[in-house]
Every structure is written in structure tokens, then in C-alpha cells.
Chain A
Amino acid sequence: MTARSKNIKVITGNTAAAYAVLLCRPDVVSAYPITPQSELVEQLAKFHADGLLDCEYVAVEGENSAQNVACAAVMAGGRAFTATSSYGLVYMYDTLLQTSGYRAPLVMVNVNREPPGIHAVYSGQQDMICTRDSGWIQVVVENCQEILDTIIMSYRLAEDYDIQLPVMVNYDGYYLSFLAESVDIPEQKDVDRFLAPLKDQPPRMKLVAGAGTGCGSHGIGMGFVEYRKKHMAAMERSKELWDKIDADFKKAFRRGYGGQIESYKCDDADIVLIASGSAVGTARAVIDAKREQGIKVGLVKLRFFRPFPVEKLSMVLKGKKAIGVLDRSICFGWNCGPVFQEICALSRHIGIMPMLSFIDGLANMDITKEHIAGMIDEIYKASQNKPYQELTWLP
């Protein structure tokens, strides 16, 4: 049955995330404020204070504790939520690895901001890149509505019996966290119905007093190897399931996002630009404009960053004449953007063609339509066998 919502509010990305958490009925919320996420945890505290959010709200003394509280609550059998950004994300890194290693089905929001190294209280995706290999499922979203919807879908994915992996929902600090857009807030009963299949599953392992359940046993020898393999296998399974969950969501709420990636005007495209996050919205407009000028360009919106959507991307990118990747971060050691580096690794599936790396949008520097138009021009040049620049730093 399709839900018809009557509840449209103009709210910021942080508030949209707070509504999503409210609707998912967590048992434990633990968080520590950090710009640009603070509003999210403050809104949750307000929901809790007004009796709307029936959970244990733990105002921890640091992000490291926030992750520990959430991970332990999940391993004890509950549903938990935490949120952070940049400095907080790296501060909780030891337990971040524990959460995925323990296969704790936790959902977390990371509001993208430049991490330590160069002090900045500005947007950037470097923090997400810092935790690439943490073993978490990582999703990136484009707008406030998608923030709300993706958090709900993330619980469906994380707590699926065959997956049991933590999910990190990333959205750009400032560009989405503080941007107010109109957001359709689903009804509680419809979200309950969407998450209901989780209740019909076999019970997952959890800590039970007096039952000899030992959580976090040492991996010795082949035990260690086996748990790693199982973790990798679960990540692989999550790709297909995410597409299915997206389709279920679309049926239930009349909004879908394409699953692991969204390909926009790529079918007949000669060249493709790949982007993620809020920049996608800007890019869409530029793609349309360039199409009017006769350039057959397509856009791929990367939603799943981990696991990397190898199969879906390969299907879309195979045979294209040139590919450009817009990164809002850098890949130390490879002198390019990180997603660009990963797209290069697809060559064994899609063939060799010119690939271009564009680094833009660091530290709240706007990614403008002119920038994107310039990127498309450069990709086009590459597709025409003209000399081109492989790495471009913008602005």
C-alpha cells in the first residue's frame, strides 16, 4: 500500500535526520555535539524532552564514548543511533572498527566536514575518506529529503539478518546540514510498516545475562580469517539488498533513489561525470544545459561508497569515451581524488578510456555550475582525443 503523507515541513538537513531517527524508534541514542551536526543532537534532545522520542538519550562526554555506547547497546539487542562529523569521527575510530568487526547493526550519521590536519570548520568529504576501510557500509546523499529517507532505509539494511553491518549515512556539512528544504515527513505507522519485516527474522546474536554469550572473543588463527571473510561476504550481499530496499521504499512512499547509484541520462551518453553528495543537484542542471548544447553527457550519482558499486558502475560506464570524477576530497599518495582512484580500478571491467580527476569543494568552497561546465568541457576534449588535463584542482 502506498503511503500518502500530509506532513511537509521546510526543515534543515539536520532536522530531517532527527525526524528520521524519531520515526525509527531507537532504544538508545548517544551523541556528542560537533559543528555541523550539533543541531541534529539538539533536535533529538528536544524530541526526547517533549516525550516524543521514547529512548534512553545518553549525552556522552566525547565521541569515542558515543560510539561505544551505541555499539554496546546494539550488541545487547537494541536499536541505537549516533551522529558525528570529522574530528568526532576520527576520535571514535577505534570503536568504529569494533562496531563493524562485531557486526553490530548500527546506523550513524556523519555530517561531512574537513577532518583534522588543517583546522577548518567547513564542509568537505575527507572525513568519509578517512574511514574508507573501516568495514562500514557508507552511503552519501544529495538533499534533505534523501537524508530522511536514507536513514530509514539504512535500518532496514543494517538489521537485515543476512547483513548485520553498520551503516554510515553521509551528508555535506553546511550545504545540507543547515540548508532548509521542503521535506515530506512520513507517518509513523508507514515507517513502522516499512521496518516491520525486520521483526519477522530469526533473532540475532545478542548479549544475554546468564546465557554464556561472549561478545568480542579473540580471533585466533583461522577464526580471525574466517570472520574477515564473513564480513567481506556480508558487504557484498548488501549491494543487491540495498537496491531491493530502495525499490520497496519507492513502492511504499513513492520516492526512490536508484539503489547503489543513480544514472542520469547515461544510456546514450558518450561521456560521464561521476559525483556524490549535494554537488549532484548542481550537476544535474549543468548536464541538462550541456545536453541542450548537443554534448551527450550523462551523470552518475554515487550513493553507495562502501561497498563500492562495482557491478552497477561497470554496466553504466562500459564503452564510454571518457569519464570524469568530481571529488570533494583528496587521495594522499595517488595525487588525485579518492573516488577517481577507485573508478580507475574499474578499468579491468570497463576498459581503458581517458579518466579525469576534479578536486573541488574543499573547505566550503562552492562547486558552481561554471566549474561543472568546465569539467564537462574537459571530459569532452578527452573524448575527442584532444590533449586534456588529468588532474584539475578547483576553483
Chain B
Amino acid sequence: MAVKLNKLPKVTEYYCDEDQFSPGNACCPGCIMELNLRLVSKIMGKDAILLGTPGCSAPTIHGQNDRAWHKHSYYACVMTGVASSATGIARYYKKAGIDATIVCHTGDGCAQDIGIQTISGAAERNENVIYICYDNEGYMNTGVQRSSATPYGAATSTTPVGSKSIGKTTNSKNMPMIMAMHDIPYVATATLSHLEDYAKKLTKAKEMVKQGFVYLHVFCPCTVGWKVRPDSSIAVCRAAVQSNYFPLWEVENGEYRITQPVAKPKPINEMLKLIGKFNHLKDEEISVLQQQSDKRFSILKALCGISA
């Protein structure tokens, strides 16, 4: 009989309130965006106002007629208007002297594509809003279409693999870095395999939002869209961190640091082999992905070096 531990994992120390979401929602089995939402709910607290927009999280954040899937107050936005709606609420509350945590929760499709103008504008104006982007590298809810977060070589329904195509032929946008270049108080990357690291960043976000715009970019594999086994979502996150494809870093008022340094990074193939959407890639295409990932990491390292 195993000796029973008396302690719970460290992430539980960061919980502020109970999970406000209904126990049974429509997220796919193994969907870690569901884990993300519940974690955000627990750490941001029951009084946090959520802003959602069409995407995977919308069916869970938005209600139906007069009933909802959770107890938070929320505001449903059109896709072009998330950060700007959050601005409106934040500014009115500022004028009225009302204290509230405003959290936008959208996918990469909204943050990086259709809504990038408003997020950039809100960041430049340094609005007191937390923006969490769950990056599942595509427009998953509407049928796995490509977005600007889809990486090179990925198969999606609008970049399918065929005799004339290897999938997406352009690199993805480095959104967390784009947001860091807005000189906002706090930008961080996080993922669901490193829960304590993420919980620390969510807690810090609540503090830093008092200074201005906060952006969190969360790596969030989609089991259906990426053809990942439902039980392997967390493993994919871990492999992404350990191969430096998705390094965990933060920049706080211009100081860059890698929060989970990886001593011996694994080759990117360790992650790719868990993901079906890359199955068709040949070795030379995989090495393109490896080079792109390495290049991106070296820029991050250089910025951390400048900050050190």
C-alpha cells in the first residue's frame, strides 16, 4: 500500500474561489481549454467578468436565453470587438470608481487575426484589462480552419494536404512577442502541463493589470483539430515546452525572463510525433519547423540576455 501524501499539488495554493463553471459542458473529451477556463475561474475569482467571442470557449462562456454555463458575469462580443468592449467596461468602471477584474478569453483566431486591431489598440492605450489567448493554432470551433497561429506544415481544413500541398506554407505569427513590443506592463506565455507556472502568472496578472494591459498566451492543443489522442493533450504541452517550441517566458515592465528554462531541449520531433496534423511531413519539412522554432527561441534568449 502506497504511503499517502498529505499535500496537494502547489497549483491549488493559488486558487481563490471554487470553479464557477457547470460540471457538464460541451467541451470535447481531453480538451484542455476546458481545464484552462476552470483554472482561470478559480484563480481570477468568482467576481471576475469574462469576455468571450465566437470560438471554442464561446459555447461555454455565453449563455442560452436566460441561463448560463457558469456563475460569472460575462459580456459576449462580436469577433472584432473583444479588447474594445473590455475597454468600454474598464473605462466606465474607472469613472464610476468600481473595482473589477476584467478578463478577455478568446482563441488565437480572434486575438491574432480578426481582432488584432482592437487588441493592439487597447494595448497601446494600456487599458486595465487582462487578455488571455488560448492558442490552439487555428479556428477550431468552426471546423479546424487555418489561422495566423497555425504553424508551417500543419494540415487544416483550409490548408489541407494534397498532391500539391504540404499544408500551411507560411510560418505562424509570434503573437506574445508582438504584444511584448507594445511595451505593456506584463506579457507571459503559459501552458497546461506546467500548472504552477501558469497559476503564478495568472496571479501576477491580477496585480499587473492595475498598471495596464496584461496579455497571456496559452498553448492549448486541440485533440480533434490536431488529431491528438484525448489523453495526450497535457503530454503535447509538455513536449512543446521541453523542445523550446513553446518556451515559457514572461516580460514584466521590459524585463524578459524564461520562467521554465529547459536544460537539454528535445528535438521538435518529440512533440510532432504526438500530433496527427504533422504526420505527413517529410524530414526536410520537419527541419524547417525545427529551424523556425530555434530562430524564434534565440530571439527570446537575446532579449532575456539584454534584460539580465
| Chain A residues near B (Cβ < 8 Å) | 27-28, 30, 55-56, 58-62, 64-78, 80, 94-95, 98, 207-221, 223
Q: Are A212 and B71 in contact, CB atoms less than 8 angstroms apart?
A: yes
CB–CB A76/B87 < 8 A: no
Interface centre among A30, A66, A76, A98 (most CB of B within 10 A): A76
How many angstroms from the CA of A70 to the CA of B63 in the assembled complex?
Answer: 22
* B298 located at the interface, meaning its Cβ lies under 8 Å from any Cβ of chain A in the complex: no
Q: For A218, give its contact among B63, B94, B121 (CB under 8 Å).
A: B63
Q: How far is the CA of A320 from the CA of B195 in the complex (A)?
A: 77
Closest residue of B by beta carbon distance from A223: B65
Binding site for A on B (CB under 8 A): 46-49, 62-68, 71-78, 80-81, 83-89, 91-96, 98, 100-101, 117-118, 120-122, 124-125
A30 touches B88 (CB 8 A): yes
A73-B92 CB under 8 A given contacts A58-B125, A60-B84, A217-B68: yes
**B47 in complex: contacting residue of A94, A95, A209, CB < 8 Å:** A209
Q: How far is the CA of A77 from the CA of B94 in the complex (A)?
A: 12
Tell me whether B118 and A75 are in contact (CB under 8 A): no
> Which residues from B are CB-within-8-Å of A59?
125
Q: Give the chain B neighbours of A221 by CB distance below 8 A.
A: 65
* Docked CA distance A247–B214 (Å): 50
Candidate in A72, A95, A219 with the most chain B CB atoms within 10 angstroms: A72
Do residues A218 and B64 form an inter-chain contact, with CB atoms below 8 A? Answer: yes
A30–B84 alpha-carbon span in the complex (Å): 10
In the assembled complex, the CB of A332 is this many whole angstroms from the nearest CB of chain B, namely 26
B94 engages A56 (CB within 8 Å): yes
**How far does the Cβ of B86 sit from chain A's closest Cβ, in whole Å?**
7
- Whether the Cβ atoms of B74 and A214 lie closer than 8 Å is yes
Chain A residues near B63 (CB, 8 Å)? Answer: 214, 217-218
Across the interface, which residues of A come within 8 angstroms of B124, CB to CB?
A: 61
Within 8 Å CB of A80, what residues of B? Answer: 88, 92
Expressed in whole angstroms, the minimum distance between the Cβ of A61 and any Cβ of chain B is: 3
Cβ contact within 8 Å between B65 and A61: no
With a cutoff of 8 Å between Cβ atoms, the chain A residues found around residue B67 in the complex are 217
17 contacts between A and B (CB under 8 A): A58-B88, A65-B81, A68-B78, A68-B81, A68-B88, A69-B87, A69-B91, A71-B88, A76-B88, A76-B93, A98-B81, A209-B73, A212-B68, A215-B75, A215-B76, A219-B65, A220-B64
Contact B85 A68 (CB under 8 A): yes
Q: Are A213 and B73 in contact (CB under 8 A)?
A: yes
A residues in contact with B92, CB < 8 Å: 27-28, 56, 72-73, 76-78, 80
A36 to B91, CA, bound (A): 27
**Which of chain A's residues have a CB closer than 8 A to the CB of B98?**
209
Interchain nearest-CB distance for B209 vs A (Å): 14
In whole angstroms, how far apart are the Cα atoms of A215 and B74 in the complex?
Answer: 6
| Most chain A CB within a 10 A radius of its CB, from B73, B118, B124 | B73
Top-6 shortest CB links A-B: A216-B76, A72-B88, A61-B121, A68-B81, A68-B84, A217-B63
Residue of B64, B71, B76, B92 contacting most chain A CB atoms (<10 Å): B92
**Beyond A62-B117, A68-B85, is A207–B49 a contact (Cβ under 8 Å)?**
yes
Contact A207 B77 (CB under 8 A): no
Chain B residues in 8 Å Cβ range of A70: 88
12 new A-B contacts at CB < 8 Å, known A58-B125, A68-B77: A60-B84, A60-B87, A62-B118, A65-B122, A69-B91, A77-B96, A95-B80, A98-B81, A213-B73, A216-B76, A217-B64, A218-B65
User: Is the CB–CB distance between A214 and B73 below 8 Å?
Assistant: yes
- CB-CB < 8 A to B93: which residues of A? 76
In the bound complex, residues from chain A placing their C-beta under 8 Å from that of B75 are 72, 75, 207, 215-216
User: What is the CA–CA distance of A77 and B89 in the complex, to the nearest angstrom?
Assistant: 9
Residue of B nearest to A227 (CB): B65
- Which residues does chain B contribute within 8 Å of A210, judged by CB atoms? 46-47, 73
B162 shortest CB reach to chain A, Å: 34
Q: Contact: B73 with A72, CB < 8 Å?
A: no
Expressed in whole angstroms, the minimum distance between the Cβ of A93 and any Cβ of chain B is 10
Q: Kindly report which residue of chain B lies nearest to residue A62, judged by CB atoms.
A: B117
B81 surroundings in chain A (CB, below 8 A)? 64-65, 67-68, 72, 94-95, 98
A28 contacts B95, CB within 8 Å? yes
Partner of B62, one of A28, A65, A71, A218: A218
Question: What residues of B have a CB within 8 angstroms of the CB of A27 in the complex?
Answer: 91-92, 95-96
Taking CB atoms, residues of chain B closer than 8 Å to A55 are 95
Asked whether, in the complex, the Cβ of A217 is within 8 Å of the Cβ of B121, the reply is no
By the criterion CB–CB under 8 Å, are B84 and A72 in contact?
Answer: yes
**Which residue from A58, A62, A98, A213 sits with its C-beta under 8 Å from B91?**
A58
Residue of A nearest to B52 (CB): A216
Q: In the docked arrangement, what's the CA distance between A55 and B117, Å?
A: 24
Which one of B62, B72, B81 has the greatest number of beta carbons of chain A within 10 Å?
Answer: B81
Residues of chain B contacted by A215 (CB below 8 angstroms): 73-76
Min distance, Cβ A354 to any Cβ of chain B, angstroms: 45
